[in-house]
Amino acid sequence: MEERNKTLGEFIIENQKAFQYSSGELSRIINSIRLAAKVVNYKVNKAGLVDIIGAAGEQNIQGEDQQKLDVYANEVFIQTLINREIVCGIASEENDDFITVQGSDNCHNNKYVILMDPLDGSSNIDVNVSVGTIFSVFRRITPIGTPVTSEDFLQPGINQVAAGYVIYGTSTMLVYTTGHGVNGFTLNPAIGTFYLSHPNMQFPKDGHIYSVNEGNYVHFPQGVKNYIKYCQREEEDRPYTSRYIGSLVADFHRNMIKGGVYIYPTSSKAPKGKLRLLYECNPMAFIAEQAGGKATDGFGRIMEIQPTELHERVPFFCGSHNMVEKAEQFMAEAL
């Protein structure tokens, strides 16, 4: 069978043995995400036709206004994972604390925990801009048979066994890795099936796109300011262009295909950064590294950071390897 004609289900089955723990649960987690993503995709595509856009009237743990679609996507992913009894714990950007999951036999025998941002960039849904779902999977470290604890979720990113994202855009794609490269699957909406459309995705080593919210320029550290000035110099060998969507998934996806760097640094307004280590930075860093890219906090590897709390924030530099290294150079020189 031609690679690009493979369905996501066929791909999972064929690559089952490559998983670190080949017991079938990890495959079932990816299948559950596939199902939930199709449900959320259906709602996203009806935005404007049904009462699903706008603020929900609540705030999440970060103090951000929740959108109706945030709440809906969160419920869909959580319920899909719980109903299939394949994880022992779930942590979501939208929830204050993690959720302990036990099977129908009231036991805690499942081996994996999942952390997720159910709808990244949801404030853009009202204006028809691409949004996404980000997920990260870890093997639990507490004894099987006992309820999960925070220790199972507060693991460094190097312990991830799978990570991925779904982008709801002009087409809907599921992109994921289990530590053996990155593959992208596009949804055929006519039959509801994901097909392998982007095998072995790779970041170009260099790129010409820098993605940063330059509206916050005056609040950035000097190293980031200097890097932006470097990108803006008019020289023949550096025709850089600024592209910033405001949805991490969309900016990351574009840069992985075309080559670029995404930067969300610390600032005087957000001294620890804005993006969440566990729900956004770790999974995107895992994908980036598996695709030949690089992800740091400006000085060190994202996936080696030891988390101390569920909703921890960190600065994030991610993308084409050489571009991230150049940004790190400017950060080091500005110290």
Binding residues for Mg(2+): 93, 117, 119-120, 280
Are 214 and 260 in contact, with CB atoms under 8 Å apart?
no
| Distance from C-alpha of 8 to C-alpha of 186, rounded to nearest angstrom | 9
DSSP 64: P
Binding site as annotated, residues for substrate: 120-123, 213, 244, 274
Q: Which of 152, 132, 26, 31 is nearest to 90 (CA)?
A: 152
Q: Which of 123, 118, 159 is nearest to 135 (CA)?
A: 118
Are 311 and 272 in contact, with CB atoms under 8 Å apart?
no
Place of tokens 């080696």: 304
Bridge partners for 296 per DSSP: 301, 317
Rounded (5°) CA angle 268-241-133: 65
| Distance from C-alpha of 28 to C-alpha of 34, rounded to nearest angstrom | 10
Rounded (5°) CA angle 307-18-182: 60
| Distance from C-alpha of 76 to C-alpha of 123, rounded to nearest angstrom | 18
| Distance from C-alpha of 290 to C-alpha of 180, rounded to nearest angstrom | 7
Are 126 and 102 in contact, with CB atoms under 8 Å apart?
no
**What are the residues whose beta carbons fall under 8 Å from the beta carbon of 293, sequence distance 6 or more?**
203, 256, 318, 319, 320, 321, 324
